[in-house]
Structure 1
């Protein structure tokens, strides 16, 4: 499987220039590309609370339709982030879109500070089968919670797609966590991050692809660029040949703390 990570900038609170960037990347994709991964909300940037209702679109709106038309010409798929309007609410959404339509749609469940008041959090962690591979999607801040990727792996995900809008000074955090999420779930993990500046933020770039054993298959620097990696799904079984974290974990031990006298006590986590 050939996956391309498209590390591109975005204009915030508008759609037209962002859509043109995405369509240009699709049209320029080299032959044999199966999937292009774009950054978080790259079709509308990061709109403000005042802007979001004016730019958010349903998943069958004109912007997604334009992307589908391009995919039908090129015969490939994309994972692309957009501001989704649905039921009177706006969501930070990433859709896995194939030429025949949306295969998987995920609404960001863990909102970063600047998302709050702009987007409604999603409430489901979901996977789907695409091209014979079970795929799960996370968005930016989601990967800082290990339970999110583990929930997708427990559903059988083999490929974790992360659309990202990570900024300075947090770039190194996501580099480390992408490797951790791949290793602890023994899956492939690919992340496409935004680059450039906007809204007073400098985006960290650093898009990367990680194998189930933690090997970095490729990574970009801060500047705009493309990275294409070949994913050999046989490496998943190889990484699990000696041990399998999902199968060997002991969930009944979770949340139990052994006191000094050897007894078990309940552990309360402040909320």
Structure 2
């Protein structure tokens, strides 16, 4: 499977600018790319209390629909971040968009300090069977909690995609965390971060990465805008788990209600 990482700078609250860059990046994907991944809140940027009501959109809103049309045109799938509006509630959301539509939605379960009071935490970890691979989504701060990735692994995840908006001085924390999450769950992990500056003087740390099920880097970006195609060999999952499988050896199973849907989605609802 060929995955394309697009590490970009964005503009907070400027959906027109961000969407235009997103669509151009999808249009420029290699012909054999199957999945392209963008950073956290790629379409709207990070919200403030003064703009959240004007920039947030439902998932059937114009911005996500524009991305879906481009995904259909290029016959590939896209993972990116959306500031989601659901009635009068706001979520930091990651979506897996295929040519057929939204295959998976995940609402960030661990809002960071600056998000609290603006966005509502999600209460489900979820995966979906996509192109024969069980895929799970996480967002930024989530990966600092081992239980987040373990919840996806408990649902059978083979590929964990993390959209990121990590800033200085926390870049090294996420580098260490993403290695641990890949190794301890024996899964492929893709993390795509933002670069450049945001509102409030934030400086985003870049460092987008792809890791194999041994926790080893297959690719690691610097701090500038870039894009990179990485090929994933899922036969490595068998190799990583042939001597022992952490999921089989564990003595503690995360609590929650697990639901399996007819369309391949699996959900673990936080109690």
Is 1:2 matched with 2:15? no
Distance 1:117 1:228 in 2: 37
Give me the whole-angstrom Cα distance separating, in 2, the residues matched to 1:47 and 1:174: 22
Alpha-carbon offset, residue 80 of structure 1: 0.7
Instruction: Give 1:88 deviation, angstroms.
Output: 1.2
* Unmatched 5+ stretches in structure 1: 253-271
Pairwise CA distance, 1:250: 1.6
Distance across 1 between alignment mates of 2:209 and 2:252: 31
Q: Distance in 2 between matches of 1:125 and 1:182?
A: 17
Question: How far, CA to CA, are the matches of 1:184 and 1:87 in structure 2?
Answer: 38
Aligned-pair CA distance for 1:251: 1.9
Equivalent residue, structure 2, for 1:19: 19
Who is 2:236 aligned against?
Answer: 235
**Structure 2 match to 1:245:** 246
Match in the other structure for 2:263: none
- Alpha-carbon separation, structure 1, partners of 2:3 and 2:108: 22
Whether the 8 Å contact between 1:4 and 1:37 is mirrored in structure 2 is yes
Cα deviation, residue 245, structure 1: 0.4
Q: Deviations over 1:29-64 (max 9, x none)?
A: 011000011000010000101211101111110001
Aligned to 2:161: 161
Deviation at residue 87 of structure 1 after TM alignment: 2.5
Q: Gapped runs of 5+ residues in structure 2?
A: 254-271
Distance 2:118 2:233 in 1: 39
TM-aligned CA deviation for residue 14 of structure 1: 2.0
How many residue pairs match? The answer is 252
Offset at 1:102? Answer: 0.3
Moved over 2 A (4+): none
CA RMSD of aligned residues (A): 0.8
> Aligned partners of 1:95, 1:68: CA distance in 2, in Å?
11
Deviations 1:245-269 (A, max 9, x none): 00001228xxxxxxxxxxxxxxxxx
Aligned position for 1:181: 181
Which secondary structure state, in structure 2, belongs to the residue aligned with residue 23 of structure 1? helix
- Paired residue secondary structure (1:43): coil
Please give the secondary structure, in 1, of the residue aligned with 2:125.
Answer: coil
What is the match of residue 86 of structure 2? Answer: 86
Residue 198 of structure 2: aligned partner: 198
The corresponding residue for 1:126 is: 126
Q: Distance in 2 between matches of 1:251 and 1:97?
A: 33
TM-score by length of 1: 0.92
Query: Is 1:70 equivalent to 2:70 in the alignment?
Result: yes
User: What SS does the corresponding residue of 1:203 show, helix, strand or coil?
Assistant: strand
2:61 corresponds to 1:40: no
* 8 Å contact kept, 1:219–1:227: no
**Structure with bigger gyration radius:** 1
Rounded to whole Å, the distance in 2 between the matches of 1:14 and 1:123 is 28
Identify the residue that residue 263 of structure 1 maps to in structure 2: none
- The answer to whether the 8 Å contact 1:171/1:206 transfers is yes
CA deviations over 1:127-155 (Å, ceiling 9, x no partner):
11111110000000000000000000000
